[in-house]
Amino acid sequence: MVMMSSKLKKIVIAAVLFIAVIALIFKLKKQSYMEKLFQFLKSVEGLRLYAYQDVGGVWTIGFGSTVVNGQKVVKGMVISENQAYQSLIDWFKKNKMVYPRKNLNDNQMVALSSFAYNMGLTGYKKSAVYAYIS
């Protein structure tokens, strides 16, 4: 187990709880895990069908994808909503999610999947959130 300062532990707990609360607000109980994940990502990431630069200056499209159909997103790229969803599906097929515990409910898995999508799978596995939940 990774040792964390009390302040960092509180920040990690607050971040996880915040994401879980957002998932609960959307009342995602009657949907499949992937439907919940797509709805959640759409609500927090937004859906943009035209390429844009994210806060880090990286060209991004759809739900925050940097690659669509195996091609790096570039200025001027335009995709359909179906392509945006397919890009998201492709990311989760390529990056097999690993959950630190087996007894997570769908909303907790959605929160962790969203976190992994934003951090990248390697960043997610090295994160304090992953270490704390393990």
Among residues 35, 54, 81, 106, which one is catalytic? 54
Any catalytic annotation for residue 54?
Answer: yes
Contact yes or no for 97/113 (Cβ under 8 A): yes
Please state, in angstroms and rounded to a whole number, the distance separating the CA atoms of residues 53 and 24.
30
- For 9, the enclosing helix (H) or strand (E) is helix 6-25
Gap between the Cα atoms of 127 and 10, Å rounded: 14
Q: Of 45, 81, 90, 106, which residue is the catalytic one?
A: 45
45 catalytic residue (yes or no):
yes
Q: Could you tell me the two tokens for 32?
A: 């499949």
Active site residues: 45, 54
